[in-house]
Amino acid sequence: MDLTHLKFDSQGLIPAVIQDWRDGSLLMLAYMNRESIQLTLEKKSVHFWSRWRNRIWEKGETSGNKLILKDIFVDCDGDTILVKAEPLGPTCHTNEKTCFFMRLQEDGSVSGVKTADGFGGGILDKLYQTIEDRKAHPSAESYISKLLQGGVDKVLKKVVEEAGEVALAAKGGKKEEIIYETADLLFHTLVALGFSGIKPEEVYKELANRFGTSGLKVKALATIDTNAKAKSNGKAEAKTIAPKKGKKK
């Protein structure tokens, strides 16, 4: 395998940053050598060089929490690798989603309090964290709190209203309005998820499961599943209301 474009250190190692390909979360930092890179590419399961084990190490070989390879990138200097992967369970040995769950304080010390602030992959996750906080600690000054306290009907009414605004904006063809209204729709959809206790990560997983599959096939499978459930429910209902046959005398 030709890896001459990569710059390994004096020990034959190169740092590898591991990222969740679904939401962009940074999962861990480890080191690879030529053999572990080759194994990763061949087996599609991320391998490292373990400096304390002094051997090749497949992530999750004992815990089962493997990292399934999705893509690999090299930085502009060729001395760092970015691995995009799908984690099969928590990445950190502490059973946290990522290894980055402690904040560095302004004085240089490390907080001993675990935080999920470093987990999220972007602004949607940050917004969701705010929604969760307002749900746990309602405030009279918070628009989110008022929505959540209004119940499911009020939350869903806003989602429907904003979806209509997006449609009208798209019909008008004005880019700025489409962006503005789409932001409103995404925000209120996150509130609906928060009300239902569903994290964006669960939506990312569903999208990842569909990725690479024809949308027509996904729709067809969903229709088949819906029809099967309806048929099953119909049989159960018919069985419930069917009159019992009397015994022959």
pLDDT tens, residue by residue, 31-64: 999 999 999 999 999 999 998 889 999 999 999 9
Band of the pLDDT at 136, cuts 50, 70, 90? very high
Per-residue pLDDT averaged across 57-78, rounded? 95
The answer to whether 37 touches 86, Cβ cutoff 8 Å, is no
Per-residue pLDDT averaged across 102-114, rounded? 85
CA distance 210 to 203: 11
CB-facing half-sphere around the CA of 11: CA atoms within 13 A: 10
Which amino acid, one-letter code, is at 220?
Answer: A
The conformation of residue 133, written as its DSSP 8-state character, comes to H
Please provide the average confidence, as pLDDT, over all residues in the chain.
89
- End-to-end C-alpha distance for the chain, whole angstroms: 85
β-strands 47-50, 26-32: how paired? unpaired
Top-confidence residue, 108 or 190: 190
Share of the chain above pLDDT 90, in %: 66
pLDDT confidence of residue 226: 65
CATH class of this structure's domain 14-87: alpha beta
Q: Which residues contact 156 (CB under 8 A, 6 or more apart)?
A: 192
**How far from the centroid of its chain's Cα atoms is residue 16's Cα?**
21
The answer to whether 34 touches 67, Cβ cutoff 8 Å, is no
Angle between helices 152-172 and 175-196 (to 10 degrees): 160
pLDDT confidence of residue 222: 66
pLDDT confidence of residue 216: 73
The CATH 1.10.287.1080 portion of the chain extends over 123-198
Band of the pLDDT at 113, cuts 50, 70, 90? confident
Band of the pLDDT at 249, cuts 50, 70, 90? very low
CA distance 160 to 137: 26
Per-residue pLDDT averaged across 240-248, rounded? 54
**123-198 belongs to CATH 3.40.50.2000:** no
CA distance 234 to 241: 11
On the question of pLDDT at 232 being above 80, the answer is: no
Question: Which of 79-88, 105-114, 142-151 has the weakest average pLDDT?
Answer: 105-114
CA distance 185 to 66: 35
CA distance 181 to 166: 5
The CATH 3.10.20.810 portion of the chain extends over 14-87
